[in-house]
């Protein structure tokens, strides 16, 4: 039989409908200004609608194809979950000194693990209570379903609030990451044991972890071989896309091994494959993530969530009696209780309201709870009623949790080192986006209400006010350390704002754009630093010609490296030599500025308090440097 004859058996219409839904969903959310609703929730809802009205008589062949693609999306989702975990951050949080109560409470890894253990205990107790209202074949597995959380919901909410780099935000993120890792491991082992019992074959699961360490060690060695590095560089951007192919090869190796052990372990295999890539792809990680995100979130993963909606059976919930309806209410209360109560550990550090709001935020569930429920349903560990209830609760918590967090948590104060951008011009918005990329807080002042709303919808921090109103800067608590970039798009308005800041507030850190030599002289007399557009364009072209690699590495937003100035304020560094301080492998010192003199640092160079260190590296490396020096 020819390939054409084989292909003629396939009906692409159902796949066309599913892909069209995946394409139109984010557009629909944007047009309806519903960007706070997760895209996957809308995919599930629309999937349910097309399953009810368009696919009631879906052929067996089309159903099998869509189920295969959906399961591939499910696997890809777990793989990307592992890839998104910053292993360096976890390692940096490992305790290295004797643990006291104060050190315990301030260590995000220890607190996150404690919250996870408390959540497991409370979830099991809650599952025992809920089992009185609805039959459960495995109470313990149902308890494991409840311990999951959703990093994909938590991170955007914290970014929107400007707390992604705050101590409170980092505590929440690490607690969610710990819950992700251990919940995947726990329900993979539990599903295997419940299906096969405690047999010697359970030790085969250890083979996945052994494979993890073998690949890690081998990968580190291969990366050091010049020929391998050269071939990888040459082929990574060509039609061969060698890094993407290698990534998929590693994923499938872990999946196939897990499949031989048992289908219920495939989730763990995919997750460990992603975690492995996360460990040794520091420098190329963001670029690789862009490519894999395109494959996963652009095709496979939406199919998984749309198929979840298509397979959703609300009819099983419609037939619930009064006691089982009470189960749904208690289920929702339990999902919040098992997360909120342990999060009160944060009370001593952040206060009751912030700790409570953090507990509500980590109560949001999405991918993992649906994935765990899907495995339980396939293995007959939970009933279709419970599976439908889980999907319903995932939708509710994803919508409700961010709202509760925002309402309960005190409004995040602007950090002392904030950057103020007067004017929401295209240049101002671009600048705010770049600061957001570097985890620096920027606030835009925009007087046009429509423009202000557009900026807010882009996820940037903005206030609706006139930049020439002095009350605005009092409200923003303008400090001498704050830079103010004046970018309204109007030369006259820019000049008025600069005069206000210099004469009324005696502010010195002001930057404005000088479109002409005359304006440059005006700003110079005022004591305002100006940017000459013509000179900037010429310098950029010069860099692109003379040093293109360096320019792209430091300027393009998808690259991992940043240059940062770090002032040495830690007395412990005073008098130490460069070689005496262990730095992260993905960071390096470029220059040291002492008073008005620049030095190229060597191993014997000594640090002094007040030195300004110019360093280059990944965000993780720079964060470690800041922790040591300031």
CATH (domain of 373): 1.20.1530.20
Residues 515, 579, single domain; the answer is no
Cβ neighbors of 151 (< 8 A, separation 6 or more) are 81, 84, 173, 176, 177, 180
Residue 370's pLDDT is: 78
Residue 96's pLDDT is: 65
Residue 557's pLDDT is: 43
Per DSSP, helices labelled H in 411-448 are 426-437
- Domain closes at, from 378, 408, 438: 408
On whether residue 552 sits in a domain, the answer given is no
Residues 459, 581, single domain; the answer is no
Please give the tally of structural domains in the chain.
3
Which residues does the chain have with pLDDT short of 50?
3, 234-236, 239, 283-284, 557-559
- Domain closes at, from 386, 408, 430: 408
Residues 248, 352, single domain; the answer is yes
On whether residue 414 sits in a domain, the answer given is no
**Domain of 441, in residue numbers:** 419-540
Residues 432, 369, single domain; the answer is no
Residues 509, 454, single domain; the answer is yes
Please tell me the distance from the alpha carbon of residue 164 to that of residue 154, in angstroms, as a whole number.
10
Cβ neighbors of 225 (< 8 A, separation 6 or more) are none
On whether residue 56 sits in a domain, the answer given is yes
Residues 460, 489, single domain; the answer is yes
Contact present, 506 and 524 (Cβ < 8 Å)? no
| Count of all residues that appear for the chain in the document | 630
Residues 314, 375, single domain; the answer is yes
Residues 536, 566, single domain; the answer is no
Residue 437's pLDDT is: 67
Element (H, E) at 190: helix 167-196
For 421, phi then psi, to 5°, come to -115, 110
pLDDT for 140-154, tens place per residue?
888 888 888 877 677
For 615, phi then psi, to 5°, come to -125, 155
- Domain closes at, from 408, 442, 477: 408
pTM of the model: 0.59
pLDDT for 391-419, tens place per residue?
888 888 877 888 888 788 765 556 667 89
Q: In 3D, which of 578, 559, 563, 618 has the Cα closest to residue 89?
A: 618
Residues 375, 398, single domain; the answer is yes
């Amino acid at each position: 039989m020819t390939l054409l004859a084989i292909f003629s058996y396939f009906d692409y219409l159902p796949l066309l409908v599913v892909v069209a839904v995946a394409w139109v969903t984010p557009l629909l959310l944007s047009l309806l200004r519903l960007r706070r609703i997760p895209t996957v929730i809308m995919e599930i809802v629309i999937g349910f609608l097309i399953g009810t009205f368009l696919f009631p008589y879906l052929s067996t062949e089309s159903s099998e194809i869509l189920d295969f693609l959906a399961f591939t999306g499910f696997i890809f989702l777990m793989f990307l979950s592992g890839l998104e975990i910053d292993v360096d951050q976890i390692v940096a949080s490992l305790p290295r000194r004797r643990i006291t109560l104060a050190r315990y409470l301030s260590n995000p890894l220890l607190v996150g693990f404690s919250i996870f253990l408390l959540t497991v205990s409370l979830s099991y107790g809650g599952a025992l209570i809920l089992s009185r209202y609805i039959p459960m074949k495995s109470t313990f597995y149902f308890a494991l379903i409840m311990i999951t959380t959703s990093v994909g919901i938590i991170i955007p909410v914290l970014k929107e609030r400007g707390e992604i780099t705050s101590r409170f935000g980092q505590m929440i993120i690490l607690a969610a990451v710990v819950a992700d890792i251990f919940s995947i491991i726990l329900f993979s082992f539990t599903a295997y044991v419940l299906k096969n019992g405690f047999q010697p074959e359970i030790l085969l699961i250890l083979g996945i972890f052994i494979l993890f360490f073998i690949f890690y060690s081998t990968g580190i060695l291969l990366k050091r071989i010049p020929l391998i590095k050269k071939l990888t560089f040459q082929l990574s951007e060509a039609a061969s896309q060698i890094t993407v192919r290698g990534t998929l090869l590693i994923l499938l190796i872990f999946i196939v091994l897990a499949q031989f052990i048992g289908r219920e372990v495939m989730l763990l295999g995919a997750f460990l494959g992603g975690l492995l890539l996360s460990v040794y792809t520091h420098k190329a990680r963001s670029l690789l993530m862009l490519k894999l995100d395109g494959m996963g979130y652009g095709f496979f993963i939406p199919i998984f969530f749309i198929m979840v909606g298509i397979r959703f059976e609300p009819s099983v919930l419609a037939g619930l009696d009064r006691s089982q309806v009470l189960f749904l209410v208690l289920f929702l209360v339990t999902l919040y209780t098992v997360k909120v109560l342990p999060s009160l550990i944060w009370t001593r550090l952040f206060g009751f309201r912030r700790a409570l709001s953090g507990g509500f935020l980590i109560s949001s569930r999405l991918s993992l709870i649906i994935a765990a429920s899907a495995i339980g349903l396939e293995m007959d560990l939970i009933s279709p009623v419970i599976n439908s209830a889980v999907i319903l609760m995932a939708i509710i918590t994803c919508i409700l949790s961010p709202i509760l967090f925002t309402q309960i948590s005190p409004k995040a104060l602007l950090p002392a080192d904030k950057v103020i951008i007067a004017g929401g011009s295209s240049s101002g918005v671009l600048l705010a986006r770049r600061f957001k990329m570097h985890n620096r807080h920027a606030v835009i002042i925009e007087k046009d209400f429509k423009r202000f709303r557009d900026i807010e919808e882009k996820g940037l921090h903005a206030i609706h006010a006139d930049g020439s109103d002095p009350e605005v800067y009092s409200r923003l608590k303008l400090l001498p350390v704050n830079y103010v970039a004046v970018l309204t798009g109007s030369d006259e308005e820019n000049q008025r704002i600069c005069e206000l800041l210099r004469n009324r507030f005696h502010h010195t850190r002001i930057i404005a754009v000088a479109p002409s030599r005359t304006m440059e002289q005006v700003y110079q007399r005022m004591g305002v630093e100006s940017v000459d557009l013509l000179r900037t364009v010429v310098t950029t072209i010069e860099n692109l010609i003379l040093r293109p690699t360096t320019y792209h590495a430091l300027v393009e937003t998808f690259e991992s490296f940043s240059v940062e100035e770090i002032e040495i304020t830690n007395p412990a560094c005073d008098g130490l030599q460069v070689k005496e301080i262990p730095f992260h492998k993905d960071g390096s010192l470029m220059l040291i500025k002492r008073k008005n003199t620049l030095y190229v640092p060597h191993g014997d160079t000594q640090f002094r308090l007040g030195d300004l260190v110019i360093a280059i590296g990944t965000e993780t490396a720079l964060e470690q440097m800041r922790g040591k020096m300031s």
